[in-house]
Structure 1
Amino acid sequence: MELHNIEKLIEKYFDATTTIAEEEILRKYFSEGNIAPHLEQHAPLFNYFTKAKEERFTKQVPLKPRKNYLKWASVAAIAIFMVGLYFYEPTPPPVTLADEYTPEEIASAKEALALLAMNFNKGTEQLNHLNEFEKTTNKFLTKSN
């Protein structure tokens, strides 16, 4: 085979545009042994493919039965869903104060809350007096500096 054609085929091979027949021509050229000196660097590549075709796996492959976990997972999901439906209790409607307590209990609670609010207001008034005291002391402290 012409050296020029082999060089073109090698260029096409590395561009990944060769056909199987052209690759076979390259393998045959590099397996003959009469290789041009500047193309010897490519010889191991094509010789490797030739040798790799001849290799066979001779060990026995142990075949284990395939377990179908997906089927059992879906069965378990359906079972959990069914148990959830069985024990499902809808939330009761909200209860109003009138339904829960008698009018007397509501009135006494309002009275207790009003008394509590009044005592809180007294405490807040005391804080207002304290704030006024703090303002006046700050005035005297800043004037003395």
Structure 2
Amino acid sequence: MELNKIELLIEKYFQGETNIVEENELRTYFSSLNVAQHLEQYKPFFGYFSLAADQKFAPEIPLQSIPKFREKDKKRNLAWLSIAASVVVLIGIGTYIYYNYEDANGKQDLGTYDDPEVAFRQTQKALALLSNHVNVGIESVHYVKEYQKSKELIFKQ
């Protein structure tokens, strides 16, 4: 009777329909010494699971394999980090100057004229404006000369 039950459990096991209690029955049966002759082929299969359950994984980590940073390595890394930071800063400054120089040169449009007569009239207008301002300045100089003459009359040196 027990042999029929074990055969049914094996079929259920390979179809994936067994529960934990039935799987434990199979493990205990195949770990015993009296296994039927025609079921001997399954003994290593179920015996493996019982052996695997007993095994514990204990990894050994050698402490000397962990790299230790020496002071020399830290200084070398700091030196490379400083060099890299300097390069980044120089590239940033160079880019800033390049784009600002392009903008400054592009905005220095002083005005050009294709027609020489228009250019001549604009030049005359600019020079007339300048002349008016210079004449105002010259009038102020005449007042200073008058002041100088009055001062000389009063304080006769």
Normalising by structure 2, report the TM-score. 0.40
Q: Which has the greater radius of gyration? A: 2
Specify which structure has the higher proportion of helix: 2
Normalising by structure 1, report the TM-score. 0.43
